[in-house]
Every structure is written in structure tokens, then in C-alpha cells.
Amino acid sequence: AIAPLLENNHPPPDLCEFFCKHCRERPRSMVVIEVFTPVVQRILKHNMDFGKCPRLRLFTQEYILALNELNAGMEVVKKFIHSMHGPTGQCPHPRVLPNLVAVCLAAIYSCYEEFINSRDNSPSLKEIRNGCQQQCDRKPNLPLRLLHTSPDLVSQEATLSESRLKPVIVTSNEIHVEVERNNTANQKMTANVGNDSEPNLIDCLMVSPTCSTMSIELSTQADRILGCYVEILKMLSDYDDWRPALASLLQPIPFPKEALAHEKFTKELKYVYQRFAEDPRQEVHSCLLSVRAGKDGWFQLYSPGGVACDDDGELFASMVHILMGSCYKTKKFLLSLAENKLGPCMLLALRGNQTMVEILCLMLEYNIIDNNDTQLQIISTLESTDVGKRMYEQLCDRQRELKELQRKGGPTRLTLPSKSTDADLARLLSSGSFGNLENLSLAFTNVTSACAEHLIKLPSLKQLNLWSTQFGDAGLRLLSEHLTMLQVLNLCETPVTDAGLLALSSMKSLCSLNMNSTKLSADTYEDLKAKLPNLKEVDVRYTEAW
């Protein structure tokens, strides 16, 4: 009777509650399939904000759980998701993915909600960072409920003289958590905490196993809900057209710390980030990194030492491989790896991982490592495997050629013939010494971003003409890291975009810049003018900034 009234309208809140109750109590009812399906489809296609209509989200959540209760279980859910996407390679309804992700995030949060809200059962972020050293540090109005009495907690003064506290078990109706505390390690950690600011989320979870171990058990019902909605996120990541938006929606990390500390959750979710790491599109795999400096992201979470790493670094190596092949600042990324992940990189290289062998070679080539002992250790690591030995020998050969190339001598000006290629440039530069080369014209040639690796080896280069070439963003980023003394750069009629042009802000010596007929935006132009103090001649004709 109600169904015809819902063909063009969302159900009101009271009706949503009635539908939710029916889904929970009679999930196998034909009403769920015949009446609720078109209603939920309409919600997912047209809803603009679940925040204003939370009962619509709850109804959608209960409907999907009811589908999962049918005999075919997740196969029915999978068919429903496919019906929402449509048979073509591109989903015609832009609101479907954000709405599905919102439902998944809310459902996953609900699995841990009672534990999150019951702060008598859960240490706060700051308390995890401090290791819950003293009971008096806990909020006085939220005491712990213990399954057993622990003599060590009777007198807090006594605990400070002991090297270790006994394990304390705290529970809620939904979750069982065991926290093992190490007093010595806690004292070291609390020494680093000097203010009241909330610590970094991943830092809280990346605690040494000897300092804090956390195991979470969900109830059967919560475990079923979690399994269903994590599986849906995995399904969503399998659609190529949805993957960029999905990656964006999952950055920054939208899950509570209790979920990230739950081994089963992070292990199942790992499939989604493997899909991101395999995707060649920058807008997808860039979401593996943090949104800003100082705030960790999925890359850190699944790195060796991160709470979610359970595979000896295979996913970490995949993420590093795809990120290094992207348009990121290579040198900056290598510096970050050297500072935070050098140990895991060396271990994986020692086991023959080719990506990590390449990373160590690049660290040596770009002089990322200053310490001589560390350099020698890296060399020993490389020489311990066949692939490492081969790549290190190639690096040594390149370094000898580079010293010969950079030896003072040769011409100060050079113009490559039109139609020349990257291979022609490489062959020419390898034929002699170009340490004096100050002016290089590659105008109207067929060179691409690949030639940048040769250009950065010209120490005296001050003027570079790339007019009407196929030189793009990736090459521009590499030049900006190495040719900081460049004074004149011509990018007229090249395919560069804002993504590459923004990197020029580090080239403080630039005094003449031609961006005529590029995809320069007005905002990027203003940013470059503000960051390049010596810039006097600029050509932005036939761009948005003109």
C-alpha cells in the first residue's frame, strides 16, 4: 500500500524506523526485495546529505544487512552493488558512490561505537600515547570496570617502582580489549609529551609491542556487520571509474582508532589499498600518502612498523614502487624514506626486492645519506644479492660517466637539431664533456620528460629552451629539484600543467619564464610570482592567466 507513495519520494523518518525494524526482524521477507529495493536505489541515487537525513542512511544500512542474511549472502549484495553501478564502464549516477561509502563508514563505526562512547572501557588517544601509566591520569568520572581485581592497581605509588604492570582486561558488551602495559617504556614515551595537544593517530597505534599490545574482539553481530561492509568497500575498489573518488573519500583516514587497532579489520581492508597501489593514476595512489606534513596516512599505517603491516613489507614495497614512478618530488620522497623507513628498505633489499634495491641505489646517487657508515652498510646490502650487485655496478658506471660529463670543458651553448629524440640527446651528452654548458636549446625537438635525467647532470646550465616539445610535468618536477641555478626557462607550447608548474617555485634563480600557450591557471601564476623574487620577464599569453 505504501510502495506507490515512495516512487518519487524518500520515506519520512518514522517510516524509515518502521522499515529498519522490519529488516532486522524479518530479513528474508519478500517485502525487503520487492518493496524496499527500489526505495533504497532511489535513496542512493538522489540523496545529497545523510547528515540531514540520518534515518535514510540507517534504513539503507539495515537493508544491505538484510540482503546479506539471504541464502546467497554476499553474492546478493554484490549483485545489488553492480545494479547501482550499472552495466557500463562509467556509473551514470554521481551520488551513488559517496552515499555507499557514507553508509559503510557509519556501519563500521557502529561496530565500535559502544566501546568508543564508553570511555571507562577505552583509553583516550593521549592515554594510549602515555601508555595509561597511572590510573589517576584517567578521567575521574569514568572509572575502569575490571573483570578481575589487580593488586597492582590498588596503590599507584607502588606501580612506579615496578618494571611491569600485570595485564588489565577491560570490556564492554560489544568489545573485549586486553592492554598490556610496560612501565619502563611508558616513562620513555611520556618524556616526549610536553603539551596537551592530541597526539598523531598513527603514532598512537605504532607503539612497540613490548610497550602496548591491543587485541579487540567484537560480538558475533558486530563482527557480521563489519565483515559485510568491509566486503562492500572491497567491491567498490574493483570498479575502475569509482576508484579515484573512493581513494579521495578514504583520505584522511576516516576510521576510529579502535578499528585501526583491530587486526581483522586492517587485514581485510588491506585489499582496498592494494588496489590503490596497483592503479597507475596519480589521483588514486596519491591518496596513500598523508594529506599534509606531520599527519600520517595509509602509507605509514601499512609500512613496516605500522600497526596494520602483516606481510613483511610486500604492500609497502608496492606502494613505494607506484609512488616513485609518479610525479612526486623524488628527492623529497627519498629523504622521507631515508629518515623514517631506511631499516625496512634495507631489509627488503637484502631479501632481493627489486624496488627497494632501486630505492637504495637512488639514495646513493642523489647523496641522500650523509653518514659514511650508513652508506657503507647500504653498499654491503646491495652487494649481498645478485640484483643488488648488478644495479650497484650500473650506478658506479653512471657516476663515472657523470664525472666525465661534468668535467670542465666543452661548449657553452648547444642547440639540438629539430626532430631529435631523447635517445639522440643522451647519445650527444655521452660523447664528451659538457661541464661548461650554460645554454641548451631543445626547441622543436621530440624530447619528453624522460630527458630530464640527463639535463640534471649539467652543473653549469643557466638557460633551457623547451619550446614546442613534449616535455611534461614529471620532467619539470625533476628539474626543479636539481637545476636550482637555472635562470631562463622556455616552456612555450609544452603540455605542462599546474601540477608541474607549481614545482618551479623552488627555482629561486629564475629571472625569465615563458609559459605561453600552456595550461597555466591564474592561481598558479599568482603563486609563482609570489615565490620567485627574481622573476622579471614572464610570458603568459594564451593561458588562463593572460
CA 393 to the chain's CA centroid? 33
Q: Say whether both 352 and 439 belong to one domain.
A: no
Residue at 139 is within a domain: no
Is the Cβ–Cβ distance between 265 and 104 less than 8 Å?
no
Q: Say whether both 419 and 535 belong to one domain.
A: yes
At 174-194, the pLDDT tens digits run 444 443 334 443 444 444 434
CA 461 to the chain's CA centroid? 36
Q: Say whether both 416 and 354 belong to one domain.
A: no
Minimal CA–CA distance to 509: which of 527, 482, 475, 470? 482
Residue at 243 is within a domain: no
CA distance 350 to 530: 46
Instruction: Give me the pLDDT at residue 214, please.
Output: 53
CA distance 284 to 292: 16
Last residue of a domain, one of 408, 439, 466: 408
At 294-352, the pLDDT tens digits run 777 898 888 887 888 888 888 999 999 888 876 555 788 888 889 888 988 998 998 88
Q: Say whether both 494 and 392 belong to one domain.
A: no
Largest Cα separation within the chain, whole Å, is: 90
CA distance 61 to 349: 45
Q: Say whether both 526 and 425 belong to one domain.
A: yes
423 contacts: CB under 8 Å, gap ≥ 6 = none
Confidence of residue 195 (pLDDT cuts 50, 70, 90): very low
Residue at 199 is within a domain: no
Instruction: Give me the pLDDT at residue 113, please.
Output: 83
Residue 81 has pLDDT above 80, yes or no: yes
At 469-503, the pLDDT tens digits run 999 999 999 999 889 889 999 999 999 999 899 99
What end-to-end distance do the CA atoms of the chain give, in Å? 62
Q: Say whether both 441 and 506 belong to one domain.
A: yes
- The alpha-carbon radius of gyration of the chain (Å, integer) is 29
Residue 19 has pLDDT above 90, yes or no: yes
Last residue of a domain, one of 369, 385, 408: 408
What is the number of structural domains in the chain? 2
Residue 3 has pLDDT above 70, yes or no: yes
Proportion of the chain above pLDDT 90, given as a percent: 49
Instruction: Give me the pLDDT at residue 351, please.
Output: 87
Instruction: Give me the pLDDT at residue 305, please.
Output: 78
CA distance 483 to 53: 54
Q: What is the mean pLDDT of the chain?
A: 81
Q: Say whether both 452 and 504 belong to one domain.
A: yes
Minimal CA–CA distance to 36: which of 87, 76, 94, 91? 76
Q: Say whether both 402 and 430 belong to one domain.
A: no
Instruction: Give me the pLDDT at residue 538, please.
Output: 95
CA distance 426 to 94: 47
pLDDT, mean of residues 104-113: 92
Residue at 370 is within a domain: yes
Q: Which residues of 95-116 are buried (b: 16+ CB within 10 A; e: fewer)?
A: ebbbbbbbbbbbbbbbbbbbbb
Residue at 239 is within a domain: no
Is the Cβ–Cβ distance between 510 and 534 less than 8 Å?
yes
- Helix residue ranges per DSSP H, 88-182: 96-117, 125-130, 156-159
Q: Say whether both 389 and 461 belong to one domain.
A: no
Minimal CA–CA distance to 367: which of 508, 510, 481? 481
Q: Say whether both 399 and 426 belong to one domain.
A: no
Residue at 175 is within a domain: no
Residue 179 corresponds to which cell in the numbers above? 592492554
Q: Residue 454 maps to which CATH number?
A: 3.80.10.10
At 118-146, the pLDDT tens digits run 644 545 444 443 444 444 444 443 333 33
Q: Which residues of 44-54 are buried (b: 16+ CB within 10 A; e: fewer)?
A: beebeebeebe
Residue at 188 is within a domain: no
Instruction: Give me the pLDDT at residue 406, please.
Output: 67
Last residue of a domain, one of 408, 437, 456: 408
pLDDT, mean of residues 421-437: 85
- Domain extent at residue 528: 410-539
**3-state DSSP assignment of residue 107:** helix
Q: Say whether both 376 and 386 belong to one domain.
A: yes
Q: For the ranges 73-87, 209-223, 513-527, which has the lowest average pLDDT?
A: 209-223
Instruction: Give me the pLDDT at residue 461, please.
Output: 93
Residue at 343 is within a domain: yes
Q: Say whether both 426 and 440 belong to one domain.
A: yes
What is the DSSP pairing of strand 512-514 with strand 537-539?
Answer: parallel
